Structure 1
């Protein structure tokens, strides 16, 4: 993988990268990395295991780029390996910007600082839908060429099986299926001739120099205009107020009318339906990730989704009779546990993470519960066998670089992360107070330290409510961390830079 990244980077920039750093996952099966050159040139490398999804994203990107829409440039592709290199749009998503703006203005119903960005987004959305819809190749759309009856029923059943059943919301299956079929017919009566972005929400928009850039449209297909508007204005992670929604909807319709004729009343009638189907699709995803996969952070958006449903019920539901579906929504709104903060916010979980040497035996139980994980890192190539790394530890950049060149490191990390994250989810849900994860190697200085540091950083980023306690048991035995270590670090860095591609 890294060899391909280095090759693609060199083909585009004329020289190989000096570092390749993993980017935190986005919930999909893709792996993402930031590649950095010696003059701070950057690119994002993507490993996509689904070839059809990759083809859709690359094709749509080139199509949007051809008409001047703000999407990342594709720098290079190795289609056989499922790897591509794209323009680095930075690290700030629209969601990040909204979150920060709320901190800066905690008393506001909706932060005014991000309104100019949202206005720009609703000016650009019609161009993606109408102009973009004329240049994309729908034959590559994944998993279907259109958001048709089958796609709609998939989403509705996803909601039924992964949210209603897992959240224990009662319903009559036969009556609900009848409502689903009637609902799909109503939705398909809208204008479905244009590009449907599919996941048009705050985590799929990057901000660079104050301007929005767009990513993650690989699930796009032909469909109704209302779907993406509903995704944006009723994004549960944002919690937009009704006056802001109305302002942005009017601005969107004004910009849409510059491209095609619009019957505003009819558009709004169908919009209510697409708001519901979008909320249901999102809640299905929250249920699958949160209830089934035991990842509580995905349940954080459920209370806002419930408030969005409540608002739809209060203002007239939809213009067709859907008695069982309406009854299901009413039951959801009356379920107290779904209106509360997700289990991720339960206080009291401490994860004890540590490194140690097997020469000194297994670590003590810092949590006092007699459980947790001990991971043996000794199967990984040992940097401590090389003189230039002896004065260093697993938190020094040269050692990190050395380890991340070893193919077994990422495989080991993937298994560790999956096991620990699964247990953190269960522990949070059940209100447990302590979990441990320790890494052992020969000297307790390089490999074990690297993985302990990496796991601590991962949990701090993804589980802010968790208290992470990090210890390195053998730290007092490490060589002096002074001038000699600095000289060794410089020598190791030079050696790493000269490694063959």
Structure 2
């Protein structure tokens, strides 16, 4: 059994990503689509496979050189210096394929079809070509007669759709057109009146053409979901979830069973995060790599985070354990008793201390996607300047320059890095990033973790505008944290509190910058709802918490004037 895989196209519908990676090397479950097709052919008994290439052909060649299918499989690249179109590509391999029947498959097709059945069907008929068809409304245009002989290819909305999978007899080379570059569909259309082109109708198969960004991303989500669920791609149901402040998309995937579960049983589900296509050496790819590496590290060390079940770095799709729908903010909103709220936060603080201390053990700094440490540069650029640029200037329209406040910001940065209880810092430890499952807290969205002060995460938790904890509760929880850390000396507790105060300030600045950016630039207007709470917190800091108010007098004057 022989095969030709058509892989020479430019992949223009997948730009800009196909400028640097050919479409056949886009991955599903960490493996190129081309490899999935090759392995399916080999499993069906194919022992000679040709792959035509043109766009970024050296990458196809290098991939094939690395692919080890054993000594019994002959696989080679057929480079086309000029793209010959689908028919010309078939004619170009005549010398190799002229003695036996052979498959021709498009490289961007993802399917679970039984190729052996197609092969046997073709051998049992006298057709020059057998084309696999199925019902796909958006692509239906291939018509056939009652005996499944194809009668035409261009009747939109009628008949069935061509899957890009076919078996050809070597005799088809006797009917080659004179042109070197030609379409296989035009070629077959000329043979239809003589009843030479047969249809194999596949009533039940999974099939996707990954030729567009949406189709590729949708298929990648299905693939990773199926892997995480231990299911097949055709038996997965995916439903969109509400998004967050990032550009990621969220989904819940569940297995589809023909028989419903018994009462009280659950078929299980996973949560899928789609970051979008992630080219290597980009910030988006760095975030996915960090999420996977850090998440595996935390989970393996017994820290309460969702287990990462499957991922594909290039497509940016990650499937994790489903922790349900309740965020910490949702649970707090349902509780009126402050003592119950305090008790819940104490559980979070206990696990946050574990996150900080145990998470830092064996932590590899190369996993981080931004900076390995909570640093002076990060504070100045990602928190102080972010506040001025996005909130003061961009949101409020004030003509205030960062440099006018530079001395204050440099002082703040120094203080936020003094006296810290350093460990692994989550960096965004607010109530929307803490899930509550069976009464226990779990941390999510930890891809920005780095080494830094526990006080910053405590500040993120206690100042959180989504909940707006009363100030006395915040104070009591800060004392609880110091007690759990066994900080007994007054000097060490005072040092801890002073660092907490300045981390509270830098976090507050970051919150306002983020909410302004998300509401005005990203169009997520609901974040604007929380700006007044964050502003109240910032003004309170200037009035009551600033250990050295004169050192931040310029910023204080600005804040109190807003």
TM over 0.5, shorter chain: yes
Cα deviation 1:415-439 (Å, max 9, x = unaligned)? xxxxxxxxxxxxxxxxxxxxxxxxx
SS at 2:386 equivalent? helix
2:528 corresponds to 1:299: yes
The question of 1:48 aligning with 2:275 is answered: yes
Residue 375 (structure 2) pairs with residue 141 (structure 1): no
- Once the 2 structures are TM-superposed, how far is the Cα of residue 276 of structure 1 from its aligned partner? 0.7
- Kept in 2, the 8 Å contact 1:129–1:196? The answer is yes
Write out aligned runs for 1:165-244 (5 A): 165=393, 166-169=395-398, 171=400, 173-191=402-420, 193-244=422-473
Partner-residue secondary structure (3-state), 2:334: helix
The CA deviation at 1:261 is: 12
Distance in structure 2 (CA, Å) of the matches to 1:55 and 1:199? 18
Write the distance in 1 (CA, Å) between the matches of 2:442 and 2:420. Answer: 26
Query: CA 1:261–1:83 in structure 2 vs 1: closer, same or farther (change >3 Å)?
Result: farther
- Name 1:18's counterpart in structure 2: 236
Q: Which residue of 2 aligns with 1:123?
A: 350
For 2:540, which of 311, 326, 336 is the aligned residue?
311
User: What is the aligned partner in structure 2 of residue 36 from structure 1?
Assistant: 254
Alignment of structure 1 residues 1-400 onto 2, 5 Å: 1-16=217-232, 17-37=235-255, 38=257, 39=261, 40-49=267-276, 50-101=284-335, 105=336, 111-154=338-381, 155-165=383-393, 166-169=395-398, 171=400, 173-191=402-420, 193-257=422-486, 263-319=492-548, 321-332=551-562
Partner of 1:182, secondary structure, is: helix
CA apart distance, 1:14: 3.0
- 1:383 is matched with which residue? none
* Partner SS state of residue 135, structure 1: coil
Secondary structure of the corresponding residue to residue 245 of structure 2: coil
Alignment RMSD: 2.3
Mark the CA change 1:2 to 1:261 in structure 2 (over 3 Å): closer, same or farther: farther
Shift of 1:259: 13
2 CA distance for matches of 1:211 and 1:9? Answer: 25
CA contact (8 A) 1:123 1:251 kept: no
Alpha-carbon separation, structure 2, partners of 1:180 and 1:11: 48
Q: Which residue of 1 aligns with 2:128?
A: none
Q: 1:6 to 1:290 in 2, by over 3 A?
A: closer
* Structure 1 residue 135: Cα displacement: 2.8
TM-score by length of 1: 0.61
The answer (yes or no) to whether the contact 2:228–2:270 under 8 Å persists in 1 is no
Aligned to 2:38: none
**Any conservation in 2 of the 1:74–1:87 contact (CA below 8 Å)?**
yes
Whether the 8 Å CA contact 2:229–2:270 is kept in 1: the answer is no
Native 8 Å contact 2:226 2:236 kept in 1: no
8 Å CA contact 2:305–2:442 kept in 1: the answer is yes
What is the CA-CA distance between 1:207 and the residue it aligns to?
Answer: 1.0
RCO (CA 8 Å, sep 6+): is it higher in 1 or 2? 1
Unaligned ranges ≥5, structure 1: 333-501
CA distance in 2, matches of 1:291, 1:223: 30
Bigger drift between 150-159 and 4-13 goes to 4-13
State the shift of 1:51 in Å: 1.1
**Is the 1:169–1:331 Cα contact (8 Å) retained in structure 2?**
no
Distance in 1, Cα, partners of 2:246 & 2:493: 36
User: How far is the alpha carbon of 1:267 from its aligned partner?
Assistant: 0.7
Q: 1:258, CA displacement in angstroms?
A: 8.2
Instruction: Quote how far apart the aligned CAs of 1:262 are.
Output: 8.7
Structure 1 residues 6, 172: CA separation in 2 closer, same or farther (over 3 Å shift)?
closer
Q: Do the aligned partners of residues 42 and 280 (structure 1) sit closer, same or farther apart at CA in structure 2, a change above 3 Å counting? A: same
C-alpha separation in 1, matches of 2:488 and 2:353: 8
Q: Which structure has the bigger radius of gyration?
A: 2
Separation in structure 1 between the aligned mates of residue 465 and residue 230 of structure 2, nearest angstrom: 43
What is the alpha-carbon distance in structure 1 between the residues aligned to residue 249 and residue 521 of structure 2?
22
8 A contact 1:78–1:84 mirrored in 2: yes
SS at match of 2:420: coil
Matched-pair contact (CA < 8 Å) for 2:229–2:269:
no
Distance 1:15 1:259 in 2: 53
The structure where helix makes up a greater share of residues is: 1
- Give secondary structure in 1 for the equivalent of 2:303: coil
Superposition pairs of residues 418-433 of structure 1, within 5 angstroms: none
Structure 2 SS opposite 1:308: helix
The 1-side partners of 2:249 and 2:491 are apart by: 41
CA contact (8 A) 2:463 2:537 kept: yes
Query: What displacement does 1:239 show?
Result: 1.0
